[in-house]
């Protein structure tokens, strides 16, 4: 069942069109990754989802009811962690949590909920510290904990790993995955690997438009872009001819040529199969020198290139 559905949402900031007629749905239990470069409209979409921003046109359905005509509908149903964690620096961690519990109207089992969230987010050791003295990682966790208070159905996380160190990133991702078991999570990111690691569905947005909306596994498959970098010393024409004959190879291009005779090539394939074996065999059959061979994972850039190309074609 779709818990959230945006229909033909547009939004201007001044004269700039930030969201251009976007529509998508989010199913209950999903961990949805909102993927796009900076300035694509991710934060704006997130804010519309929380009810903090009203779109210029379109409708926002929450469990099939319009959240725009009755804004009270989504109050407390949505936990929100903005890009900068919203924290009162002059309050202790526990005071921050208590306050948000109060204004979210949590009545019963306050202490239990608080302890559970402190545990889940690993805030135990800093409970009595002034929030202003927390490190970046703890601030992020506190922000997440605040979002979790009041047991919301949907958790909206705006770039939750930005500015964290690798260990913190890893921990945060683990935490989100853990939360995703109970709640619908929408997170925005500009890192494909993060989304593909954490999310089960991906929505890609660029320049205010949705490029695609897929299950993560399908997306990776659909992109079909496996590319291989090859460095060799051989006759350029022969190599290209032969390589193109390999089954699954869609394109071969020369990237670099050196005076020493070394050439760098990119081989693109639209097959799921690993072609490295075929390539090595080809080289040994023809007795060409293979200096290096590597396979590269698809990146966000690849996907954009791909989709933009698709559109152009």
Site residues (CB under 8 A) for another protein?
11-14, 47, 50-56, 71, 74-76, 78, 80, 82, 84-92, 95, 98-100, 102-105, 128-130, 133, 146
CB of 144 to another protein, least distance (A): 13
CB of 138 to another protein, least distance (A): 13
CB of 102 to another protein, least distance (A): 3
- Are residues 248 and 299 in contact, defined by beta-carbon separation less than 8 angstroms? no
Residues in the chain: 313
CB of 126 to another protein, least distance (A): 9
User: For residues 159 and 242, which CB has a smaller minimum distance to another protein in the complex?
Assistant: 159
CB of 170 to another protein, least distance (A): 25
User: For residues 54 and 217, which CB has a smaller minimum distance to another protein in the complex?
Assistant: 54
User: For residues 9 and 220, which CB has a smaller minimum distance to another protein in the complex?
Assistant: 9
User: For residues 86 and 248, which CB has a smaller minimum distance to another protein in the complex?
Assistant: 86
CB of 111 to another protein, least distance (A): 16
Q: Which residues pair with 220 in a beta bridge?
A: none
CB of 213 to another protein, least distance (A): 25
Instruction: Output the 3-class SS for the chain.
Output: CEEEEEEEEEEEECCEEEEEEEEEEEECCCEEEEECCCCCCHHHHHHHHHCCCCCCEEEEEECCEECCCCHHHHCCCEEEECCCCCCCCCCEHHHHHHHHHHHCCCCCCHHHHHHHHHHHHCCHHHCCCEHHHCCHHHHHHHHHHHHHCCCCCEEEEECCCCCCCHHHHHHHHHHHHHHCCCCEEEEEECCHHHHHHHCCEEEEEECCEEEEEEEHHHHHHHHCCEEEEEEEECCHHHHHHHHHHCCCEEEEEEEEECCCCEEEEEEEECCCCCCHHHHHHHHHHHCCEEEEEEEECCCHHHHHHHHHHHHHC
User: For residues 102 and 235, which CB has a smaller minimum distance to another protein in the complex?
Assistant: 102
Instruction: Provide the CA 240 distance to its chain's centre, in angstroms.
Output: 37
Cβ neighbors of 237 (< 8 A, separation 6 or more) are none
CB of 115 to another protein, least distance (A): 18
User: For residues 134 and 279, which CB has a smaller minimum distance to another protein in the complex?
Assistant: 134
User: For residues 44 and 189, which CB has a smaller minimum distance to another protein in the complex?
Assistant: 44
User: For residues 110 and 276, which CB has a smaller minimum distance to another protein in the complex?
Assistant: 110
For helices 110-121 and 93-103, the axis angle rounded to 10 degrees is: 130
Q: What are phi and psi of 257, to 5 degrees?
A: -130, 135
User: For residues 104 and 177, which CB has a smaller minimum distance to another protein in the complex?
Assistant: 104
CB of 129 to another protein, least distance (A): 6
């Amino acid at each position: 069942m779709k818990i959230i559905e945006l229909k033909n949402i547009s939004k201007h900031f001044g004269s700039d069109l930030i969201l251009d007629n976007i529509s998508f749905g989010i199913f209950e239990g999903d961990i949805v990754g909102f993927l796009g470069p900076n300035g694509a409209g991710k934060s704006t979409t997130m804010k519309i989802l929380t009810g903090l921003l009203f779109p210029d046109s379109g409708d926002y359905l929450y469990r099939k009811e319009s959240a725009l005509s009755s804004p009270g509908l989504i109050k407390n149903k949505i936990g929100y962690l903005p890009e900068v964690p919203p924290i009162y620096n002059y309050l202790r961690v526990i005071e921050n949590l208590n306050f948000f519990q109060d204004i979210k109207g949590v009545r019963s089992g306050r202490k239990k909920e608080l302890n559970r969230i402190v545990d889940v987010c690993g805030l135990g050791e800093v409970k009595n510290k002034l929030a202003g003295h927390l490190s970046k990682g703890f601030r992020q966790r506190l922000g997440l904990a605040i979002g979790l208070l009041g047991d919301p159905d949907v958790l909206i996380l705006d770039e939750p790993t930005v500015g964290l160190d690798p260990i913190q990133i890893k921990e945060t991702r683990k935490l989100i995955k853990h939360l995703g078991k109970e709640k619908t999570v929408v997170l925005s990111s500009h890192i494909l690997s993060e989304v593909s690691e954490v999310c089960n569905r991906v929505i890609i947005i660029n320049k205010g438009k949705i490029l695609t909306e897929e299950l993560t596994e399908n997306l990776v498959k659909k992109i079909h872009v496996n590319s291989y970098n090859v460095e060799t010393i051989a006759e350029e024409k022969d190599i290209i001819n032969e390589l193109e004959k390999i089954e699954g190879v869609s394109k071969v291009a020369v990237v670099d040529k050196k005076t020493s005779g070394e050439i760098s090539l990119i081989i693109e394939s639209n097959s799921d199969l690993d072609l490295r074996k075929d390539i090595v065999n080809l080289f040994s059959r023809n007795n060409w020198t293979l200096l290096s061979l590597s396979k590269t994972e698809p990146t966000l850039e690849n996907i954009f290139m791909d989709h933009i190309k698709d559109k152009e074609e």
